């Protein structure tokens, strides 16, 4: 039987009408940066739970989660309406393999995300590990519209702290804005725009990729990387592509 911890909302920040971040006070939660945990509410006499990646780094309180309202969903619209002081439940066991302990060393680490798939990478980036193991780190975030490019203050701070080593590349599929690329991430891998924007080559001998988000992006980006000589990473057969679908 699952063990549940009770958390209390400190802040519910709404980036857009559909995107929100919850910051929670509660008991410490053991996890590795990049993992996810189930969040639950009691609804109609039943505990309804869904998986959310953790934005905050291990050992830091309050815990922070980034989510999207699923239209007609049972849980996410209620989470989006929580106010400071409201309670919810967290599963005591975090899980997931999108973690740096599963990723081989390389010259550059690439983190490719769409939508809320950026959440685990925000946790990883605030730990020492990527900066100890990789000479360069690239965060790629694809969204539909400019206002969905969230956590820019945090990313700007990381770019200043790790000047010359950390770069962000943003994609917009239904909007345009200065400093962003148009279209989808997989197409930009194939035609060379992503490598040009990041300033690093994509090559099996120097690159490690972590992918998280829309299943179509994960599938198509993996195919585009395989076409450039990279392969999926497995413990028994090391490669350069580690992926996790975000739903």
Per residue of the chain (247 residues), what is the pLDDT tens digit?
469 999 999 999 999 999 999 999 988 899 999 999 999 999 999 999 999 999 999 999 999 999 999 999 999 999 999 999 999 999 999 999 999 999 999 999 999 999 999 999 999 999 999 999 999 999 999 999 999 999 999 999 999 999 999 999 999 999 999 999 999 999 999 999 999 999 999 999 999 999 999 999 999 999 999 999 999 999 889 999 999 875 5
Give me the pLDDT at residue 1, please.
Answer: 47
Give me the pLDDT at residue 246, please.
Answer: 58
For the chain, state the CA radius of gyration: 18
The structural domain count of the chain equals: 2
Using CA atoms, how far apart are residues 33 and 13, in angstroms rounded to an integer?
A: 22
Q: Which tokens is 161 given?
A: 């702290």
Q: Same domain for 235 and 120? A: yes
Q: Same domain for 163 and 206? A: yes
* DSSP state for residue 234 in the 8-state scheme: -
Among the candidates 46, 71, 91, a domain finishes at 91
Among the candidates 56, 91, 126, a domain finishes at 91
Q: Same domain for 109 and 13? A: no
Domain residue limits at 71: 4-91
Give me the pLDDT at residue 26, please.
Answer: 86
Q: Same domain for 236 and 152? A: yes
* pTM score of the predicted model: 0.95
Q: Same domain for 119 and 152? A: yes
Using CA atoms, how far apart are residues 204 and 8, in angstroms rounded to an integer?
A: 45
Q: Same domain for 84 and 111? A: no
Using CA atoms, how far apart are residues 171 and 199, in angstroms rounded to an integer?
A: 16
Give me the pLDDT at residue 165, please.
Answer: 96
Among the candidates 91, 120, 135, a domain finishes at 91
Q: Same domain for 81 and 143? A: no
Contact predicate 164/199, CB 8 Å: no
Q: Same domain for 13 and 30? A: yes
* DSSP state for residue 199 in the 8-state scheme: T
Greatest CA separation for the chain: 54
Q: What is the DSSP string of 75-103?
A: SHHHHHT--TT-EEEEES--B-S-SGGGS
């Amino acid at each position: 039987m699952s063990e549940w911890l009770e958390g209390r909302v400190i802040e519910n920040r709404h980036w857009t009408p559909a995107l929100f971040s919850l910051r929670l006070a509660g008991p410490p939660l053991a996890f590795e940066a990049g993992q996810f945990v189930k969040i639950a509410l009691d609804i109609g006499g039943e505990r309804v739970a869904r998986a959310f990646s953790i934005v905050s780094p291990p050992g830091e309180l309050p815990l922070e989660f980034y989510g999207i309202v699923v239209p007609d969903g049972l849980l996410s619209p209620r989470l989006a309406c929580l106010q400071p002081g409201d309670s919810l439940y967290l599963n005591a066991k975090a899980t997931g393999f999108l973690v740096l302990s599963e990723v081989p060393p390389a010259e550059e680490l690439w983190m490719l995300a769409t939508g809320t798939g950026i959440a685990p990478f925000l946790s990883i980036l605030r730990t020492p590990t990527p900066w100890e193991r990789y000479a360069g780190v690239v965060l790629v975030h694809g969204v539909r519209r400019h206002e969905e490019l969230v956590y820019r203050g945090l990313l700007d701070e990381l770019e200043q702290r790790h000047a010359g080593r950390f770069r962000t590349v943003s994609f917009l599929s239904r909007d345009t804005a200065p400093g962003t690329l148009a279209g989808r991430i997989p197409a930009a891998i194939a035609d060379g725009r992503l490598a040009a924007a990041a300033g690093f080559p994509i090559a099996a001998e120097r690159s490690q990729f972590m992918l998280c988000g829309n299943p179509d992006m994960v599938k198509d980006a993996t195919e585009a990387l395989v076409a450039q000589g990279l392969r999926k990473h497995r413990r028994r057969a090391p490669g350069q592509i580690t992926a996790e679908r975000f739903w």
